[in-house]
Amino acid sequence: MRPQRPLPVDPPPPGEELHRPLYKTASIRETTTVRTDRQLRLDSGTPGTPTPRRLHTWTGAGRNEPSVDVGNAEKEAAEEGPELHRRIKKQQQNISNIGAAKMPFSVNGILCTLALLLLWRAEELAEACSCAPVHPQQAFCNADVVIRAKVVGEREVDSGNDIYGNPIKRIQYEVKQIKMFKGPNQDIEAVFTAPVSAVCGVTLDATGKKEYLISGKAESGGRMHVTLCDYIMPWDSLSTTQKKSLSQRYQMGCECKIVRCPSLPCEISAPEECLWTDLMIEKQVHGRQANHYACVKRADGSCSWYRGVAPPKKEFLDAEDP
């Protein structure tokens, strides 16, 4: 079989240089090289200008397939090249802008998450039990109920639901009241508290072998609620002065105000105040003033520390500061 020859291509005009590189048209079996000339003119009316011919390439498949018009392809490529380049650059710029715009949102999202975690942690810490130290007399005056009692039973009970519908658990201590120093006319039969100390729950010995001084908030039906911030002490740990003061002297001084000394030197700012210095001088809450003194109001309206097991005498109450 005789091989077919490709169609001839017109040579460039004499004296003119080719300004275009060689373009290769790929085929299945072989490649035919086509030379193009920038100086070709599409305007057929120009004298001496060759008319572009329709070129054919050999595909090796036994037939000739027409290719694109080289002259038109060159012109379109020259015209569309800058526009295509501009569009690509614009898309790249848009992608960069989108990435830059998303970055602050990502950073803000991380910062917001960290802020929420910190707030959640702060709220969790705020919910932990923290109580300022108070003098026993001040705790007595702040309480609704103050009793001496034994704890004879313990159980966990439901006390309604919170705002999210979750059940609220409380510990119920069954108590046997021995004496009431302050409170309602009926005996206290149950003392309620939170289930854990993290939310100020109080743990008491429920075997009935230990007596407690229990102060707290009154509830209906012979019940009361206590927290770690209330004054709750084993009865045997109280001093004789404290036990006697529960009956009269603490109540006499409820119109007085016991002020904690924050630093030395310190002084009272009003005549109805008593300066409490145990924390500053003795570095403990249960110091001499807490164990052996009561702040009592006198006839002139001022308040002063009184020490003694017996109730204050009339001479002390009638005394006036110079």
Binding residues for Zn(2+) are: 129
> How far apart are the C-alpha atoms of 211 and 260, rounded to whole Å?
29
> How far apart are the C-alpha atoms of 319 and 322, rounded to whole Å?
9
Residue 4 structure tokens: 């077919």
Assess contact for 227 and 216: CB atoms under 8 A. Answer: yes
Cα torsion through 212, 218, 220, 223, rounded to 10: -10
Give DSSP secondary structure letters for 108-174. Answer: HHHHHHHHHHHHHHHHHHHHS-------HHHHHHH-SEEEEEEEEEEEEEEEEE-TTSPEEEEEEEE
- Known binding residues are 129
**Residue (of 136, 164, 82) closest to 288 by Cα position:** 136
Cα 99 to the center of its chain, rounded Å? 29
Beta strands 257-260 and 211-219 are: unpaired
Tell me the CA end-to-end span of the chain in Å, nearest whole number: 142
